[in-house]
Amino acid sequence: MAVPLDANQQFPFVEPPRLAIYAPAPGSMPIREKLPNRRKNLTQKVRVGRQRQRVYYTFGLYDDGRPGELFIDVAKAGQALRTWASEAGMMFSMALQHHTPLETILSLFLHTNSDPSGSVIGHPFIRNCTSIMDLIAKDMAVTFLKLDRYREEPIQVEERANDRDSTPADV
């Protein structure tokens, strides 16, 4: 049985817990290291997945060879995927320019799952990826960190031509 509330009853006020807000100490803000106006870059074109989605990505490099920016373009894709790819590249670039360790960035993107995914054609040492960001993270791990555990044998063009003719019933 419910008890009616007494309008005169006073409840003790309990202050809600305060959220901890990260505020770095003055002078300890990370400094952005912008790239020089004229710089070297590495550009890769690959085809990903069953639809052979064309993906282009470019690493902008500092004078000492470190990556400092990333541009991603997905050809013939919808506006949402192209926008996502562009914004992911900007976020990646800002993290690199603010001295976030490359190992930390790559640990966030390795083995992420999204489409397009699957076999990779046109890359010298990556055969498969679970997403575009997984592909780029594997490439950066091998190219810049020399982590050969992500290096794979490339897919031969003849091998993929035979695979295209097979149907799911043949598998």
pLDDT computed for residue 166 by the predictor:
45
Q: How far, in Å, CA of 17 to CA of 62, rounded?
A: 45
Could you tell me the pTM of the whole model?
0.68
Distant-in-sequence, close-in-space partners of 110: CB < 8 Å, separation ≥ 6: 134, 137, 138, 141
**Per-residue pLDDT, 40:** 92
Residue numbers of the chain with a pLDDT score lower than 50: 159-162, 165-171
Q: Which stretches of 21-117 are assigned E, i.e. beta strand?
A: 41-48, 53-61, 67-74
Q: What are phi and psi of 127, to 5 degrees?
A: -100, -40
Biggest CA pair distance of the chain: 85
Write down the pLDDT at residue 44.
87
**What's the DSSP call for residue 102?**
H
What is the separation of C-alpha 37 from the centre of its chain, rounded to a whole number of angstroms? 25
* Domain layout of the chain by residue ranges: 59-162
| Two tokens, residue 123 | 């890359």
pLDDT of 58 reads 92
Token pair of 28, please? 């300890």
